[in-house]
Each structure stands twice: as C-alpha cells, then as structure tokens.
Structure 1
Amino acid sequence: MAADAPNIFVFSTFSGYKIKCNNIEVQSGDTVEVMIDKGYLKKSDGIEIEFTNKKSGLVTKQFVRCLNEGFPEFITINNGAEYGYYYFDPTQDWIVKMNTNSEIIYFNYCEDNFYDFKPIETKNGELYYSYLTPYSDPDEKIKVVTNSFTECKAVIMNSNYQVVKEILGTLDEDGKFTNIELDMHEFLMFDEMNYITLSYIPTYVDNIPEKLTGRGGYPSRVYAAYIQEVRDGKVAFEWKSTDYPEFYDMSVEGNQFDFTNEGWCDYIHINSIDICPNDGNLVLSMRHADSVVEIDRKTGDIVWILGGKHDMFKLKEEEKFTRQHFARFTDSGTLTLFDNSTNYVVSSAENYIGNGTGFPRTIEFSLDEREKTILDYKSYDYKVKQSEVMGSSQKLADDIFLIGWGASMEVPSKILFSEIDFISQKVLFEASNKSGVNVTYRVHKFHR
C-alpha cells in the first residue's frame, strides 16, 4: 500500500451486487486507482468497499486496512533531522518508506524476506525502486546449480511502486537468463537496461597455493564471487573472483581450503559494490578479507587494495577495519564504509578471531589512488556495542551520517537506524522496533 501513489484494485466477476470502492461505483473486471487522501498510512484507516444486494437492498461495508494489522510498531525520535524519507527492511519481512514525521508512506510484506529496498534516480530524472527477494513461487524459480547465500531475484518498480521488471538471474551470451541466481548482497541499477548483479557459484578450484591447502594442486571447494554488468539486454562485463588467486591468501575467514569445512569456502564474501567516481571502476567490499578492492571495469584486474593482509595504502593501526560493509563514495569523492569492527565468525564454532573492538563505527577516507596513500582519514565513533553482521552508513552532510545497525548476536538491540551528528554526538532521528530485536540489512535516506 502506498500513500504517495495510486493503489490499484482489480475487481473480478461478481453478480447480484452493486459495488462501490471509495464511493466510486465499479463494474465486473474494473480496475480502480485509489489515492490515500491523508498522505500517510495508519492501521486505523481503511479504504471502504460497499456491497449492495440488488435483490434485498441490504448494504454491507468492508474496509481494506491502509496499514497491515501485523505491521511492526516503531518507536521514533526526531531531534531536528532534515526532512526526507527513510527506506529500510525491519525484520526483513517488510520494506518500508517512512518520512521524518514518522509517517508510513509505503510498505510491502513478504514471508521470504526483502533486502536493500531503495529508490533509484536515473540520469534523465526517472524514479524507480528496487529490492532483492527470494523466489516466492517455486514454479518461477530457476533450476539452481548455485548454492548462493540467499538465492534471489531483483525486482524493479516504477515511481508508482508497480513492478516493471524482474531480474531472475545472470544472462548468457544470447541475453537469456541462466541457472545462476542472484545473491542478496548487492544490485546496482543505472537505468532499466543497465544494471550490475552479484552471484556466488560453488566451484572446484586447483589454483590455491599449497601453503593454504596442504595438498598441492588438489582441488578445493569455494564460492566464486561472480559479478555481471548488463547493458541493453547483453552482458557487457563479467568477473569471477577465482580467476585471481591472490584473494585466497587475503582471506581471514571462510578459508578452510583443506576440506576441514564440509561446505564451500566463503573466502572473500563480497557484500557491496560501488562505482569509483574517478575512473568508473568497481569498488568491492570483501568482508572476509577485511578489505576494500577496486577492480578494472574492462579488464577485471585488481587496481588497488585498501585494508587487510595485502593492504596497498599502509594503513595505520587506528585506520584498519574488520568485517566491514557498505563501501560507498560520497558526492565529494571520499570513501565511507561501515566498520563492524567485529571478529564474529558466522561459519565457525569459534566465536571471535582478529582484532576488532566490538564497537562499530563509520570511517571516511580521502584516497590518492595513484600513489596509494591516505590523504585524510576520519573515524566517526558512537559507542553502541552491536552489529556483528550487516549494517550501512550513508553520509548526509558534513559529520552527519545515517547508520543502519545491521544485526547483533552478542548484544541484541531494538534500534533499527540512527541519524547522528557526530560533532555533537546528537541523535537527529532514530527508529527502534518496539516488538522485536533489530535486523536491518541496510537503510537509505533520500529527499523523494
């Protein structure tokens, strides 16, 4: 349901009744667009459907609730946040657009989870929305040869929240969907005919250095990260992590290459992709390498590595990060990331390894990419011990960031996201989940 776009009601064949929807008489097969006059959605409001029995004249009324009865309740505070709209996925069963007045503008529900709901404004000013979600209908699901962490499709909606396109998987050389599905960590769209996807393919490889396997030349099972860019229905670029053996040695988690792990080695775990504004290359956040890596968008070669065991920028101790998410360039060209600063190991019986502090933070780098040096570095700290996994950090203005807190196993929290002025340490806006703990993949704020 939406408060800023028409809601579409389709009436099937009926007989014996006259029906009005929102005081508009409808006929069998009619499609009716209903706008919410109030401009936001409430559980106590509904769209009236009136039924009049043609024979008896008896009138009955029913209401379509504007806000689902099971919709989560939020506790919010606003201490002077600039007006805008937050896009997020509380508990991941819902996607929500909420304004800084705490009014719900749009929502959708899915039993199979949502990831990364966000608006997309194309170069010509068109507005779209996108999200990633698992396949709800088994019959539409592609026969899978992958074992992706969460096998998803990308859904694209127009400005009225109507689905205009679904990306069911990667494409082959003929522009047809393959049986390689998308992963839930990233989907970038530039316009309806140009987008980038991320997938993971279980792969047997024999190019892992012997020192890492103890079995020279013997194949190991790994997840190959696979990135594909599509333009005008054709594959314009593709990249597979297993073509670059140096990533094996960079791994700090998911690297049981000697088969001591019965599954597949999630050895780099790419969790975000962005475009470098200087050269148009791809910049990847590799959680299990504690690294951010730029790869050439034409050749696929590694351009630079920031952080981790193969760091090229000679980071100082306080500049290092662990298990980071959401590496993004700002309008001014700096690179920000959400440093989970955790040593939590998802796939291991051991709880923690490494040197993370346990307190997540936002880091902002100004990079000299040619000389591989740090021109400027800022750490934005907010002493909340949570967020071993997931999370995001969006720069809104100087020293003001929107933090999506991800999820925590050690110290569960109800806080979904916080907009913080880090100079004053003032929380400008915050939303918490009243009835449950925080699980939010990412949060975005925009002005439309």
Structure 2
Amino acid sequence: MSKNLRIWTAAILLVIPAVLIYFIASTPLENAPPPEEPEQEAKVQSFPEDYDWIPLPDMDLKNPGNMYELPSLTTEAKNVLDLRSLSDHQVQVNGEDVTGKDSYPLTVETISDEDFITLTVDGKNHHIRTLPQGLSGYTVDNKGAEDGFYYFTYGDYIVKMNASGQIVYYKNLGTAYSFDFKLNTTEDGKKYYSYLVQNRTEEKVKVIGYQTTKAVIMDEHYRVVDEVDSLIPTDLVEPEPLENHDFLLLDLGHYVVSSYYAETVTNIPAHIQQKPGGANVMAAYLQEIKNQEVIWEWKSTEYPEFYEQSVEHNDFTNEHAAYADYMHFNAITVDPGDHHFVVSFRNLDSLVKLNRNTGEVMWILGGKGDQFGLTEEQQFRRQHKVSVLSDGSLLFFNNGNVLPVAPYPIVPEEDPLRKEQAETTIVKVRLDEENKQIESFESFPTGHFSATRGSVHMLDEDQNIVLIGWGSGENNEEHFTEVNLNTGEKLLTFYPHDEDLISYRVYKFAE
C-alpha cells in the first residue's frame, strides 16, 4: 500500500465514527420523553408593601368606649395594622407604644366574642372586636369530626375555622358575592389560598346566574401574591372579567379560569326552534393560562351538538329571556389519571370530559347526550362540584331538581312533575371510559333539597366521610355538614346565625 493511500484510509476510519456519533446524537429516539422545559419564574403581579395592611376603623377619637371591627384578622400570622391614619396622635396597641409608626405587626391568640384589641389614642381607650358581629352567633355541633380546617364564604366574609368552631382567619370582602375560598397545594408542596370575589357591581347580562369576579391568590401568611381580573384575549374572546363558579390553581401563575359570553349564533341545528337571523345565547368559556399566556381554551358555541342536549334555559327564540344560558358551566377538575378536564354543565344535566390538548369532547355522562347508558334511576339533575377520587371515581353534588329554576322551559300547572318531591343526593360513579360503561354507581340520599349551588368534598375515602355544603338549602337550616355516607352519621354540623345565608361551597383541609 502506498504512503498516500495509507493516509487516506486512516482519515476515513477516523471520520466515519465521528459522523455516526453525530448522526445518532442528532436523531431523536422514537420513545424518548420530550425535553423538559427549563424552569421559569412565575409571572405574577407585584404589589406594594402596604397592599395587605389592615386599615383601622373610622373611629370617633373624642368619644372613647365605642366598639369597632377590623376587616381582616388571623391567629396564624402577623396582622399588620395600618397606623398612618393616626400619624398625628400618641398611639398604643394593647399597651405597646407605636407612636410615629406606619404599621404594627399584631399577634392575636384567639378570635372570639370575649377577646378585644385595645387601641389607645391620646390616652383614651377604644376597643376592637376580634370577632365581627357579622360572624357572631353561629353554632357548631361536633360529634366526632377529626381536627382540620373548614373553608367557606359567609355573608361578606371568607372564613377559615377549626373543628372546635373557632375562627382562625376571616376577611370582609365588602360583598356577599365571594366564592370558592380554599387551600391549594402545588406539586412541589407550596401552599396558596385563593378565592373569587365580585369585581363589577353592574350585571353584565340580566337574569343570568353568573357574577363577574376576579381571582385572588394569597401565600401561606395571607399576603396577596397574584390577582387575575380578566381573561387573556385570544381569537375566540376579548378581555373580560372571570365568572364566579370555579378557579383552579395548578401553580403560582398557572391557572384555569372561566367566563361567559353573550353571543348571537347561527349554528344551532335547523330542526330546533330558534330566533330568525340568529339566537342570543350564553357561551361557556374556559381558559388555561400559564405565566400570562393562554395554553388551552374551549368555547361551548364551537360545539353545536350541545344546543339540543340542553334541558333548561334553552329558549333559543329568546321570547322568555334575552339570552339562552343553555350550558351553564359550574365546575371543573383535572383527572389525575390522564390530566384531562372533567367539567360540569348544569343545564345539560351532564358531566363532560374535555381533551386538554385538542379540546375535543372525550365523553358525556348524564343528560340527553349520555354515552354510558345510565338507567332512569341513575340519572342526575343540575349537578355541582365534581371531583375525581384516587380510584378514578367521580364524586359530585346532585342537586336533583325536578322543576326548572330558569324562566324556560315552562312547566304547566297541571303537569305531574309539580307533584314530585325533589331530593339532593351525593353521587359516586366509576366509569369504564374506553368502553363507555358504568363500572359502579352509588347514590346517597340526604333528605334535603338544594335547588342551586352546593358542594361535596371527600375527606376519607376508606370510611366514605364527606363534607357537604348545602348551597341554597331550601328545606335545611344547616350551612354545611360533615357526614359518613355509609352510616348517615353527622360528624359536624355548622348552623349559621342567619338561615338566609347561603353556602356556595365548603372545603376541609388538614391545615
């Protein structure tokens, strides 16, 4: 072999492995997992230092002895009082001199009718209730409920209360239209509180069961760390306030929100009686946002098959209501098994699974569009608050309406439906989703009826212990009840001081 040939052969032998290594490294493996996205810091709003300071009441400083209240208080963290309104006065809080300070971190041991805060201004004592009158007078009957904390809305307040009936946190939101106060725990163990609160007092559309709201997210010390007061605009929607039914916090800056849209549509099937030229309907809209970007959205009017599945508020002629609220979204949850969404639509009598990637309808349970062959005895009506249990079962609050609440359809006076007795039940059902079959179905009677709202939260799957929020509770004085579904034993009952107060939802968590 010549010297030049030996050189070329050696070069080729060196190059070929390098090319192969590059090719292999550059070719994606068919079964390789997708590359992980780099961790991004959550994009959330920033708030000034004094955003969560608690303002002092407007006091008559010349006349001591009056009793006052604070808009918020907790026994679990420092309560930062805003003292700036008393900057020109000598001030003590519970005997401690705070003159000249802008704020004061107050520690409160208990919140009760017997405990007060003494605010001394220029030598005169003024007293502040730890428990506002608007929260006083409730009754808690604990007959074996384990320790934990109940989260609920109560008049103008959001409230966290322990199993002994002692409030450990409250906040007056200035409106009875607050919803879904709860504790959220992220995958990495971080804790956040969240709630929805009315942010626009005028009705967007009259005689529709929605409120315009914003979502408020607080850290474990009750400091606001983010707020969501509008949808992010897309090709489907303009910026709009959220609505009140549900809010999912998956992580800080990662949320699932909802709204409703008044639309005139022309895609209703021709065999359905409708307004010529287009019917006015309420579109249900869901949006998943992460770091202020929309990563998934779904709008009901893009799926015309649902028009004929509606059972209430479905006058598409618009003769009985300006807009047909034919779907009425009221709950959403993530199925931990496949990470798709299970959604409740009250006016379909249906739970619907939506693909989290494509938005396609994966299945429908209940109502006219039922795909699982529910028997007449298994059918549910106007349900609320669905969740997925550890074995994949669905748990939900079946309001059980017989008559519509909406202005349409109209039930004649002589209709036998008017003589039927409505009852709310708690339903637990396990599905064979692939074959569209019912694997197991349980319905637990409650002896009560709630025509609107209401919730159920599973506390102990082994013993079947749940917490029921009674919603409108037409024939029930209880605000919420912890109960063993197997035995019917009531472990804890909360009675409000005013039976007209309505519990939208209630939760219980260990902390």
Deviation at 1:110, TM superposition (A): 2.8
Amino acid at match of 2:261: I
Q: Corresponding residue for 2:262?
A: 202
In structure 2, do the counterparts of structure 1 residues 248 and 3 end up closer, same or farther at CA, with 3 Å as the change threshold?
A: same
Indicate conservation of the 8 Å contact 2:331/2:344, yes or no: yes
Contact 2:87 2:102 in 1 (8 A): no
What is the total number of aligned residue pairs between the two structures?
A: 429
Measured at CA, do residues 251 and 396 of structure 1 come closer, stay the same or move farther in structure 2, by a change above 3 Å?
same
2:253 is matched with 193
SS of 1:42's partner is coil
Are residues 1:32 and 2:89 paired?
A: no
Distance 1:62 1:148 in 2: 43
Q: Deviations over 1:319-344 (max 9, x none)?
A: 21001001111233211010111124
Deviations along 1:107-166, one digit per CA (max 9) or x if unpaired, are 122332211111111122221111111126x7xx9x979988211111111111122221
The answer on whether the counterparts of 1:275 and 1:283 sit within 8 Å (CA) in structure 2 is yes
The reply on whether 1:88 has 2:88 as its aligned counterpart is no
The one of 79, 101, 106 equivalent to 1:7 is 79
Q: What is the SS of the residue equivalent to 2:377?
A: helix
Could you say which residue in structure 1 is the equivalent of 2:439? Answer: 375
State how 1:317-336 maps to structure 2 within 5 Å: 317-336=376-395
- Within the alignment, does 1:420 sit opposite 2:483 as a pair? yes
1:77 corresponds, among 108, 133, 141, to 141
The match for 1:166 among 219, 227, 240 is: 227
Change (3 A) 1:370 1:214: same
Q: Decide whether the 8 Å contact of 1:90 with 1:416 is kept in 2.
A: no
Correspondence for 1:56: none
- Range with bigger deviation, 195-204 or 7-16: 7-16
The answer for the alignment partner of 1:338 in structure 2 is 397
Q: Which residue of 1 aligns with 2:458?
A: 395
5+ residue gaps, structure 1, are 53-58
C-alpha distance in structure 1 between counterparts of 2:495 and 2:411, whole Å: 27
Distance (Å, rounded) in 1 between the aligned partners of 2:380 and 2:312: 14
Aligned twin of 2:505: 442
The structural deviation recorded for 1:24 is 2.8
- Structure 2-normalised TM-score? 0.79
* Conserved? CA contact 1:227–1:238, under 8 Å: yes
With 40-49 and 346-355 compared, the bigger mean Cα shift is at 346-355
Q: Deviations over 1:335-376 (max 9, x none)?
A: 101011112422227469979851111110111111111111
Per-residue CA distance 1:203-251 (angstroms, 9 max, x = gap): 1100001221256x73100001010000111011111000001110110
Equivalent position of 2:277 in the other structure:
218
Matches within 5 A, 1:21-420: 21-37=93-109, 40-52=110-122, 59-91=123-155, 93-112=156-175, 113-135=177-199, 149-172=210-233, 179-214=239-274, 218-348=277-407, 350=410, 357-384=421-448, 386-397=449-460, 398-409=463-474, 411=475, 413-420=476-483
Do the aligned partners of 1:342 and 1:357 also contact (CA within 8 Å) in 2? no
Residue 233 of structure 2 contacts residue 239 of structure 2 at CA under 8 Å; is this kept in 1? no
Unaligned runs of 5+ in 2: 1-72
In structure 2, give the amino acid aligned to 1:414: E
Are the aligned partners of 1:204 and 1:222 in contact in 2 as well (CA < 8 Å)?
A: yes
More strand by share: 1
Flag the structure with larger Rg. Answer: 2
Contact 1:148 1:182 in 2 (8 A): no
**Take 2:434 and 2:367, find their aligned partners in 1: how far apart are those partners?**
19
TM-score under structure 1 length normalisation: 0.90
The answer to whether the 8 Å contact 2:321/2:407 transfers is no
CA distance in structure 1 between the partners assigned to 2:136 and 2:105 by the alignment:
26
* 8 Å contact from structure 2 (residues 92, 119) kept in 1: yes
Contact 1:414 1:438 in 2 (8 A): no
- For 2:273 and 2:315, locate their aligned partners in 1 and report how far apart those are by CA, in whole Å: 8
Q: Hey, what's the Cα distance between the residues in 2 that align with 1:13 and 1:151?
A: 32
- Assess, with a 3 A threshold, how the Cα gap between structure 1 residues 289 and 148 changes in structure 2: closer, same or farther: closer
* 1:164–1:344 Cα change, 3 Å: farther
1:420–1:427 contact (8 Å) kept in structure 2: yes
SS in structure 2 of the partner of residue 223 of structure 1: strand
Higher-helix-fraction structure:
2
Provide the rounded CA distance (Å) in 1 between the counterparts of 2:157 and 2:274.
Answer: 46
Aligned residue type for 2:301: T
CA RMSD, Structure 1 to Structure 2 (Å): 2.4
Which amino acid letter does the alignment assign opposite residue 79 of structure 1? K
> CA 1:106/1:291 → structure 2, altered by over 3 Å: closer, same or farther?
same
Question: CA contact under 8 A between 1:85 and 1:100: conserved in structure 2?
Answer: yes
For the Cα contact (< 8 Å) 2:315–2:321, is it kept in 1?
no
Q: Tell me the distance in 2 between the aligned counterparts of 1:227 and 1:101.
A: 38
CA contact (8 A) 1:148 1:181 kept: no
Would you say the 8 A contact 2:320–2:407 is kept in 1? no
Where 1:388 maps in the other structure, the secondary structure is: coil
The aligned amino acid for 1:3 is T
Do the aligned residues in 1 keep the contact of 2:84 with 2:103 (CA within 8 Å)? no
When structure 1 is superposed on structure 2, of 11-20 and 397-406 the one drifting more is 11-20
> In structure 2, what is the Cα distance between the partners aligned to 1:211 and 1:435?
48
Quote how far apart the aligned CAs of 1:100 are. Answer: 0.7
- Taking structure 1 as reference, are residues 15 and 7 closer, same or farther at Cα in structure 2, changes over 3 Å only? closer
> How far 1:261 moved relative to its partner?
2.5
- Please say if residues 242 and 258 of structure 2, whose CA atoms lie closer than 8 Å, have aligned partners that are also in contact: yes
Does the CA-based 8 Å contact 2:477-2:499 persist in structure 1?
yes
